[in-house]
Structure 1
Amino acid sequence: MAKGIIVKALSGFYYVLEDGNELANGELVQCRARGIFKKKGLSPLVGDRVEFERTENGEGTVTEVSPRSSELIRPPIANMRIALLAFSVVEPDLNQQLLDKFLVHIEHAGLTPVICFTKLDLLESAADAQLSEAVSSAASLYRSIGYEMFETSSKFKQGLEPIAARLAGELTVIAGQSGVGKSSLLNALIPGIDLETNAISMKLGRGKHTTRHVELLPLGGGGWVADTPGFSQLDFAEIEAEQLGGCFPEFVPLSEQCKFRGCLHLHEPSCEVRAAAERGGVAASRYEHYLQFLQIIRDRPRRY
């Protein structure tokens, strides 16, 4: 039985790179999944380690999926260790509420979040002091929380070496809303792949989707990065109200001092998280976004 990793999934087919082969030289084996997976409610995902058997026509059948170390539902991908969250500083403007939403989902999934602000060249050419200050303040905020921060310009190859070094040897998924420059960033990090890019729609303030499937791409320094379809909305279907605070790292040590176990940091007496927010020990934007997300979770239909 052959073993390998799924590097692309498209139209019901899974493209597997067999162990011992390199993507540049080895052929991908086009596979279908055994019907047993559907009965079990399990779908193979990009990033899965699998066993497969070749068929007479040179294709293959995935027969076994190894246990996963991590799993994301949107984008659908498995076994990633790092989530590179790409957010543009302009066109579209930096959206911290959406960034915090991504961070919550990545924290909940157990991946290591790495934030990358893109399109620095557009910020510099805009010569907007107020906008520059807002971006600088946001970068400082996330660094103070403990998140790794990178700032890049794909156009001028600025800030690429540090981020390439950080991703070397890792399994990384790159995510962010459409139009923020994910494909441009990957084109700059992996010369020769020439992913399609599209300009921002100035009328809509967002980009068109240029990536239509999830695919692992080999990094020059070793490791893989997954290009994913752009999207701008995430729900909280997998997160319970009691889990949300744990997805805000700066809340965790404070919550241990709350009077009540399971405190939602809403109206409870002697809540240290709320007290810290009131005295400026927790950023107002982060606490406000926490309350917004908590309301969404509490308002969703109950599952039975």
Structure 2
Amino acid sequence: MLFLILAILIPESPRWLTQKARFTEAREVLAKIGSSSYTSKVLTELKANLSVRHGSGFGDLLSLKPVLIIGIVLAAFQQWCGINVVFNYAQEIFTSAGFDIDDTLKSIVATGSVNLIFTLLALPLVDRLGRRKLMLFGSIGLTIIYALIALAYQTGTLGLPVLLLVLCAIAIYAMTLAPVTWVLLAELFPNRVRGVAMAIGTFTLWFASFVLTYTFPLINHTFEAQGSFLIYGIICLLGFIFIWRKVPETKQLSLEEIELKLNITAPVEPKSLQQSANEKQG
């Protein structure tokens, strides 16, 4: 109910409003974000970007395969990095680390608290440090911690050391991969296909979550705890390499500037926004 009530206060997207030739409303929304010069600059960019006639839907999206692949890989990686295993199978993980039921419940409370605290800490860091840096830090940080957790299980150094390492992993994830993936998915795709592309990215993320949740018991049974965390560590290392080579920095760039940076603007036959609106009304 609270979400429903607050959703009423969410302004309409200025890009959607511009696409529908509702320029006055778009200007009002932009004015809530920045100065008058910012509003004029962004509105001019929106008109220039959206006044070009593009294809739409899946056909146009397939022409942007490199960007689509980045979005799909990031969405899957956010889940396959393995952190949600800790939340979904906390009892099994902490029991295998030598905790009794009472200690396990306290550990579960600790993991949730750390997740909340470090998610809040991530809010100012996204724009201050940049998306790419946070994603790189998160992936390599989890790689190292998973290797240490696997080593702890292998050597029998369980109990508190494992709990502290798990909490560190959750803290890093909450500051980096968890929120920043959603930011990047919303920024990478050009205006004309953003709706369809975000739908594909979101589907990929939750399908990956299903696969992760379903396969962990099988992996844990086959490779035991140390092998499971080692596998997730390897996935995080591969994610680090992918982000390093393929993911651009989008900090302090408008969506239109990101399009130009990624060279994914595909102009075809010019067509005015007003003309498009008139045709739709007709």
Into which bin does the TM-score normalised by the smaller protein fall? under 0.3
TM normalised by structure 1 equals 0.23
Between structures 1 and 2, the one with greater helix share: 2
Between structures 1 and 2, the one with greater strand share: 1
TM normalised by structure 2 equals 0.25
Greater Rg, structure 1 or structure 2? 2
Bigger relative contact order, structure 1 or 2, given CA contacts below 8 A and separation 6+?
2
